[in-house]
């Protein structure tokens, strides 16, 4: 946040009918509203204009038949027939048919390319393109979906998982092992640890043992940067020297991630 937001910025950031004035960042505005009638009046005028602007912005005529067109497009997408093998073969024969010595030449080149590819792969230690945050977010969503409310264990975290220096761990943390999502393009093991405890808005730390590399920071940040849908906040980081990936997910939009992190870095 900027060092000194102006009173105008604070007024403009305050939503009508919300509890924004109770936010720490708007405390200065709340104080001014209390003691300065001019500021209170300006806030009222500003929020009145906000209401008018909001109403006007929502006043857009919707084209007739739009819903039907969306559904039709969806239907046609689903109904696209799969190309049958004979047709494919026909197309291949027609446009790309090669034969005789040229066929042998092509097959030889292909074999050579495969051998070279395998060789480069082995020498390079495998492809190491990092997995994108979008894919990780999708995998984490799958993990959330398969986590089971009745499978929590409280008999001490499994060996190899030491979280004390990473996150604030409850005295008797609940945890469960989860399968790696089928759609994931990586292998490893996933352990979910409930950092909030029963009866409170859940905050789950997924500890992933994997040799795969992910496009995430190497240290935790307080900004929710993993594009999870459904109102979740999530941050992920991967220690470069270990095979550990951490994903912290807060299930309530009002939760702050930094509450659970030991040494968060402001992003």
Site residues, other proteins (CB under 8 A): 1-3, 5-13, 15, 18, 20, 23, 25, 38-39, 42, 45-46, 48-50, 52-54, 56-60, 62-63, 66-67, 69-71, 73-75, 77-79, 138, 141, 144-146, 148-149, 223-225, 227, 229-231, 233, 253, 267
Please state the closest distance from residue 143 (CB atom) to other proteins, in A.
12
Q: By C-beta, is 50 or 188 nearer to other proteins?
A: 50
Q: By C-beta, is 78 or 122 nearer to other proteins?
A: 78
Q: By C-beta, is 74 or 243 nearer to other proteins?
A: 74
Q: By C-beta, is 56 or 123 nearer to other proteins?
A: 56
Please state the closest distance from residue 172 (CB atom) to other proteins, in A.
22
> For the chain, how far is it from start to end, CA to CA, in angstroms?
11
Please state the closest distance from residue 10 (CB atom) to other proteins, in A.
7
Q: By C-beta, is 209 or 265 nearer to other proteins?
A: 265
Please state the closest distance from residue 152 (CB atom) to other proteins, in A.
12
Please state the closest distance from residue 203 (CB atom) to other proteins, in A.
15
């Amino acid at each position: 946040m900027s060092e000194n937001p102006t009173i105008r910025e604070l007024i403009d950031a305050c939503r009508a009918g919300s509890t924004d004035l109770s936010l720490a960042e708007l405390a200065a505005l709340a104080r001014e509203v209390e003691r300065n009638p001019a500021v209170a009046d300006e806030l009222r005028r500003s929020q009145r204009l906000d209401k008018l602007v909001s109403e006007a912005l929502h006043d857009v005529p919707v084209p007739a038949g739009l819903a039907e067109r969306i559904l039709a497009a969806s239907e046609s997408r689903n109904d696209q027939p799969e190309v049958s093998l004979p047709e494919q073969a026909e197309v291949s024969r027609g446009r790309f048919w090669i034969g005789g010595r040229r066929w042998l030449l092509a097959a030889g080149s292909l074999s050579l390319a495969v051998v070279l590819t395998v060789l480069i792969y082995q020498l390079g230690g495998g492809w190491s393109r990092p997995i994108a945050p979008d894919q990780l977010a999708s995998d984490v969503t799958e993990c959330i979906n398969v986590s089971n409310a009745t499978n929590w264990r409280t008999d001490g975290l499994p060996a190899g998982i030491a979280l004390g220096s990473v996150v604030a761990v409850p005295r008797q943390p609940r945890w469960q092992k989860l399968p790696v999502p089928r759609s994931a393009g990586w292998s490893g093991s996933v352990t979910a640890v409930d950092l909030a405890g029963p009866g409170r808005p859940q905050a789950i730390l997924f500890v992933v043992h994997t040799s795969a590399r992910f496009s995430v920071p190497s240290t935790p940040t307080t900004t929710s940067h993993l594009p999870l849908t459904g109102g979740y906040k999530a941050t992920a980081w991967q220690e470069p020297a270990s095979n550990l990936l951490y994903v912290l997910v807060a299930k309530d939009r009002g939760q702050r991630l930094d509450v659970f992190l030991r040494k968060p870095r402001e992003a």
